[in-house]
Amino acid sequence: MTPTSRCRATARMVAVIGVVSLVAACSGNGGATGSGADGYPNRNITFVVPFSAGGPTDTVTRMIAEPMAAQLGGKIVVRNVEGAGGTVGAGEVAQAEPDGLTVLMHHIGMSTAPALYEKLGYQPLKDFETVGLVTEVPMTIVARKDFPPATLSDLVAYVKANANKVTLANAGIGAASHLCGLLFQTAAGVKLQEVPYQGTGPALTDLVGGQVDFMCDQTTNTSGQISAGKVKAYAVTTPARVKSLPDLPTTAEAGLPQLQVSVWHGLYVPAGTPPEVVRKLSEALKVALAEPRVVEQMAKLGTAPVAPEAATPQAHRTKLEEQLGAWAKVIADAGVKAS
C-alpha cells in the first residue's frame, strides 16, 4: 500500500471512528454515551452532604469519597448544603441533572422528612435512585462536662425536675439528633427546649463549650470528645456496647431500654440517572467499603461498613421503604410536625 493510499485509508478510518463517537455523543445521555455509563464520569462528581462540615455525615462521606473517586477514575468534591434537618440539601439533589455527577449522602432523615414536612418538595422513593447503604452508626447521649446528672437515670430525673431550663441540641427537625431527642423525651415523659443547629458538628462544639446542656449524636462525631473526657457520656443507643467505647453502657443497661436507634446512611442520585451509572457508583461504593483504611477509620469512630450485599440499590431501596413506614408511625404518635 503506497504512503498516500495508506494515509487516505487511515484518514477514512479516523473519519469513521470520529463519526461513531459523535453519534454516541449526540444520543442525549448528557456526558455519558452508549449504555449511559461509557465515559462516566466525564466531569467532577459532587457529593452533597445536607449538614455542616466536620459533623458525622460529613465525616463518613469524606471517608469513602476518596476511594470511590479512585475506583471511578474521576474526582469527587464534597459540598455541604445545610438546612431544615437535611431537607434543603436533599431537595437540591432531587432537582439536579440525572447524570450521576450529583450524589447525595443522606441518612435516616430521608425516611423521616415526609412525615414531618408538609411542603417537602421531593418524594424519597419517586425522586431518587438508591445507590447503596454505607454504614449504620450508633448514637450516644452526651452532655456538657459540668452538667450535674451522673447517670442516665439521674439525667431522666434531672430533666423531669428542670424541664423548662434544660437545653437539648439537635441538627434540625428530622435530623438523627432530633429523632433521638424525640425518643428520649417520649421515654422520659418530658418536653424540653430544643436548640437547632445546621449540623451536630457545630452543636458539639457548643456542647464542649458549655453553651448547651446535652444532645444525642452519632459516635462518628462524639467518640473523640468522649475518649478525651471533653463531654460527659451517659449511654449508647444500641443493643450492644460499642467496641471503641467499652466503658459506655447501653441504654438498656442504663435503665432506658426503649431508647434504641442507630443511623443508617446511604447514597442517592436523582431519579432517571442511567442504571449503568448507578451500578458503577454502587460497585465503587462496595470497593471503598472494603478498603482496610475505611474499615479501620469507621471502627475507631464506633461503626462499620455495611455488608457488600447491602451496598446495592435494591437493598437500599428496601431499607428506605421499611423505614418510611416505621418512622411515619413514631412521628404521628409523637404528634410532631415541622412548622
- Which residues, 6+ apart, have CB-to-CB distance to 78 below 8 Å? 46, 47, 49, 58, 61, 62, 65
- Exposure b/e, 129-145, CB count within 10 A at least 16 = b: bbbbbbbbbbbbbbbbe
Cell of 118: 408538609
Residues 297/102, Cβ–Cβ less than 8 Å: no
Residues 203/169, Cβ–Cβ less than 8 Å: yes
Chain residues binding ligand MLT by CB under 6 A are 51-52, 55-58, 107, 109, 171, 175-177, 199-201
- Degrees, nearest 5: CA angle 265-304-136: 30
Nearer of residues 46 and 205 to ligand MLT, judged by Cβ:
205
CA-CA-CA-CA torsion for 159, 164, 165, 170, nearest 10 degrees? 80
Nearer of residues 100 and 199 to ligand MLT, judged by Cβ:
199
CB 189 to ligand MLT: min, Å: 23
Nearer of residues 33 and 87 to ligand MLT, judged by Cβ:
87
CB 90 to ligand MLT: min, Å: 12
Nearer of residues 175 and 231 to ligand MLT, judged by Cβ:
175
Nearer of residues 206 and 276 to ligand MLT, judged by Cβ:
206
CB 323 to ligand MLT: min, Å: 14
CB 212 to ligand MLT: min, Å: 14
Residues 164/194, Cβ–Cβ less than 8 Å: no
- What is the distance between the alpha carbons of residues 61 and 80, in angstroms, rounded to a whole number? 11
- According to DSSP, the β-strands at 45-49 and 76-80 are parallel
CB 247 to ligand MLT: min, Å: 24
Nearer of residues 41 and 305 to ligand MLT, judged by Cβ:
305
CB 221 to ligand MLT: min, Å: 7
